[in-house]
Amino acid sequence: MKTLDVFQLLFFTGVLIVCSLPLGLYIKKVFCREATLFDFILKPVEKFIYRLMGINADAQMRWTQYAFALLSFNIAGGILLYLLLRLQNLLPLNPGSFSGMSPDLAFNTAISFVTNTNWQAYAGESTLGYLAQMAGLTVQNFLSAATGIAVAIALMRSFSGKESGTIGNFWFDATRSVLWILLPLSLIFSIVFVWQGVPQNFNKPVSIKTLEGVEQSIPQGPVASQEAIKIIGTNGGGFFNANSAHPYENPTPLASFLQVFAILIIPAALCTTFGKMMKDRRHGLVLLGAMLLLFITGVCLVTHFENAGNPEIAKILHRTSVPQMEGKEVRFGIGASSLYSVVTTSASCGAVNSMHDSFTPLSGMILMLNIGIGEIIFGGVGAGFYGIILFALLTVFIAGLMVGRTPEYLGKKIEAFEIKMVMLGVLVIPVLVLILTALSVSIDPGKAGISNPGPHGLSQVLYAYLSASGNNGSAFAGLSANTFFYNLLLGLTMLIGRFGVIIPVIAIAGAIASKKIVPVSNGTFPTTGIMFAGLLTIIILMVGALTFFPVLSLAPVAEHLKMMNGVLY
């Protein structure tokens, strides 16, 4: 890494942390019904929404009720989105006259956007009309992010509550997430993105003749409004096929900087919110510290490997090494592309400003590990927070085993039921990924999608299932995933990967909420210090590394060794 790269990375991290503090405090106020700046305009809207729905948003829910409301909300959203995608040819605002999606692709896409994955087996500019993009995808970008925040807040509440057995009201949490957090941020970022060059219009594609006289048709659309929430909600579904590598989605280095910033800002802020809710900042800082350590290591490694590049290409250009520029844009270069790739896989975003499929093998491995450990380095909005809490519970449990004492976290005893749920939540992703990858590389419909021969083919399939189960959405995009086989299997993977974690988390919240707070004693394992942060980091790495070591050694590690020896496939 160059000195300038290091400086710029530190600058980015600094800006992120500094801005996340006030936002975290603001989020705490929003959910604890304290006064905020926007109340005068948003409170009437909020009341109006509750009245239209006919609900009492003050009613406190038990965990089963909360989970049920959340599932209903997601099912309803999925059904509506599926219909919009299937029937877009009959609806207005479709200037490209695109036909309705096929049933399997619409199934996959609807699940993909409802689960905050935004895996895209289609190419936006040649498949979707403006109505499907704005009324379908944009809306689910907001709502899936709101679902994630709601779960995180319910979990925080359960730790701070006293034997109530209730964890809040889902409709209240979701509505407030949208109105107070996601919408204001999206308004600001949309306008900034337009300023940088992202289009926002309802024009037909612009037909031009190039200077050499060739016809070029340039698709347009309401891109900026969708771009903003795609990033802020860690959704990642691009308006265009090339996603944030497309100059219309991400026109300048500054736009790219703002995108990586916006991806991580809510996840980072939630750590502060947590500390504030627990009335002890250190609880949030410890989590943030563990995340930062893993994050900065990841960025440095990927930047290093991408700068070192591919020795075969260096040989052709008669040099000792050249940076890996295949699948990268000139305006981003190695630095901004590497940073973006680590940010998008750390958070469950999945937007890309360079093509991960063409990254050097070991960089690809780091991206896969980021997703594989459960996207808890900042993580998706809400999802990252409840993900790292699962690991925190696992850590106190293991520490408890070592000293032979019932583990406690934040004054609540962690017992058999919670640990069972933690294990469910932690194991869902590895089990799905390993079994389905093995299946897909063993049978013809799975193998048919692979575009790169050799060990990289395995990486492509592995990445797809990691991305789907971790609700990331980025891809080793050479894989032809728009087939009945992959649409179906990846669709189901996204569904299980999302709700197979959310439901155990809500169950944990329910159980924790009904426990009484035990006072801190000499025997309590402290969960605020460096010791805890270190142990947490080690356990995260151990679970991730041990689970995926065999398959990673067959895929990226094997490919790296072949590449260094000049073997081609």
Partner 1 sequence: MLREMKYAFKAILIFTIILGFGYTFFITVFASLLFNRQANGSIISGENGKKGSVLIGQKFTVPRYFHPRPSNAGSKGYDPTASGGSNLAPTNRKLIDNVKSNLEQVLKDNPGFKPEDIPVDAVTSSASGLDPHISIENAKIQAPRVAKARNLDLSVVHYLINNNTDKPLLFVQGEPGVNVLQLNLELDKVSKDISNERR
- Return the residues of window 243-262 that contact partner 1 according to CB under 8 A: 245-248, 251-254, 256-257
**Residue 112, SS3 per DSSP:** helix
- The total of other beta-carbon atoms located within 10 Å of residue 44's CB is 10
Residues 144-183 binding partner 1 (CB under 8 A) are 171, 174-175, 178, 183
From 339, 421, 494, 543, residue interacting with partner 1 (rule: CB under 8 A) = 339
CA distances to 74, 295, 311, 569 from 306, in Å: 39, 17, 11, 21
From 116, 169, 186, 537, residue interacting with partner 1 (rule: CB under 8 A) = 186
Cβ proximity to partner 1: between 191 and 419 the closer is 191
Q: Is 69 in the site for partner 1 (CB under 8 A)?
A: yes
Report yes or no: 95 and 130 within 8 Å, Cβ to Cβ: yes
Q: What is the closest distance, in whole angstroms, from the C-beta atom of residue 553 to partner 1 in the complex?
A: 16
From 111, 121, 143, 501, residue interacting with partner 1 (rule: CB under 8 A) = 143
Residues 378-407 binding partner 1 (CB under 8 A) are none
> Quick one: tokens of 146?
């709101």
Cβ proximity to partner 1: between 143 and 390 the closer is 143
Binding mask 216-235 for partner 1 (x = CB under 8 A): xxxxx-x-xxx---------
Q: What gap in Å lies between CA 91 and CA 97, rounded to an integer?
A: 10
From 211, 279, 404, 523, residue interacting with partner 1 (rule: CB under 8 A) = 211
Q: What is the closest distance, in whole angstroms, from the C-beta atom of residue 435 to partner 1 in the complex?
A: 24
Report yes or no: 128 and 218 within 8 Å, Cβ to Cβ: no
From 25, 83, 139, 441, residue interacting with partner 1 (rule: CB under 8 A) = 139
> Quick one: tokens of 123?
């190419």
φ, ψ at 38 (rounded to 5°): -95, 5
Which span sits near partner 1 by CB under 8 A: 19-27, 67-75, 101-109, 404-412? 67-75
Q: What gap in Å lies between CA 329 and CA 334, rounded to an integer?
A: 9
From 241, 297, 514, 528, residue interacting with partner 1 (rule: CB under 8 A) = 241
Cβ proximity to partner 1: between 142 and 548 the closer is 142
DSSP state letter for 165: -
Of 390, 335, 378, which Cα lies nearest the Cα of 505?
A: 390
Q: What is the closest distance, in whole angstroms, from the C-beta atom of residue 366 to partner 1 in the complex?
A: 15
Which span sits near partner 1 by CB under 8 A: 305-313, 417-425, 434-442, 499-507? 305-313
**Residue 350, SS3 per DSSP:** coil
Please write down the HEC assignment for all residues of 468-516: HHCCCCCCCCCCCCCCHHHHHHHHHHHHHHHHHHHHHHHHHHHHHHCCC
Report yes or no: 62 and 310 within 8 Å, Cβ to Cβ: no
Q: What gap in Å lies between CA 41 and CA 63, rounded to an integer?
A: 31
Cβ proximity to partner 1: between 292 and 313 the closer is 313
Largest CA distance in the chain: 80
Applying CB under 8 A, the site for partner 1 has a residue count of 126
Any idea of the CA torsion for 487, 262, 266, 184, to the nearest 10 degrees? -100
Residues 446-465 binding partner 1 (CB under 8 A) are 451-456, 459
Q: What is the closest distance, in whole angstroms, from the C-beta atom of residue 240 to partner 1 in the complex?
A: 5
HSE value, Cβ hemisphere, 13 Å, CA-based, for 174: 22
> Quick one: tokens of 269?
């802020």
At 114, which helix (H) or strand (E)?
Answer: helix 103-114
Which span sits near partner 1 by CB under 8 A: 25-33, 155-163, 276-284, 357-365? 357-365
Residues 479-538 binding partner 1 (CB under 8 A) are none
Q: Rounded to the nearest 10 degrees, what angle do helices 3-31 and 333-346 cross at?
A: 30
Q: What is the closest distance, in whole angstroms, from the C-beta atom of residue 477 to partner 1 in the complex?
A: 5
Binding mask 9-48 for partner 1 (x = CB under 8 A): x-xx------------------------------------
3-state helix, strand, coil in the chain (%, to 5): 65, 5, 30
From 1, 8, 104, 514, residue interacting with partner 1 (rule: CB under 8 A) = 8
From 55, 91, 419, 517, residue interacting with partner 1 (rule: CB under 8 A) = 55
Which span sits near partner 1 by CB under 8 A: 311-319, 401-409, 501-509, 546-554? 311-319
Binding mask 75-94 for partner 1 (x = CB under 8 A): xxx--x--------------
φ, ψ at 216 (rounded to 5°): -135, 130
Cβ proximity to partner 1: between 210 and 521 the closer is 210
Q: What is the closest distance, in whole angstroms, from the C-beta atom of residue 142 to partner 1 in the complex?
A: 5
Q: Is 335 in the site for partner 1 (CB under 8 A)?
A: yes
- The total of other beta-carbon atoms located within 10 Å of residue 52's CB is 8
Report yes or no: 254 and 177 within 8 Å, Cβ to Cβ: no
From 187, 520, 541, 542, residue interacting with partner 1 (rule: CB under 8 A) = 187
Q: What is the closest distance, in whole angstroms, from the C-beta atom of residue 215 to partner 1 in the complex?
A: 10
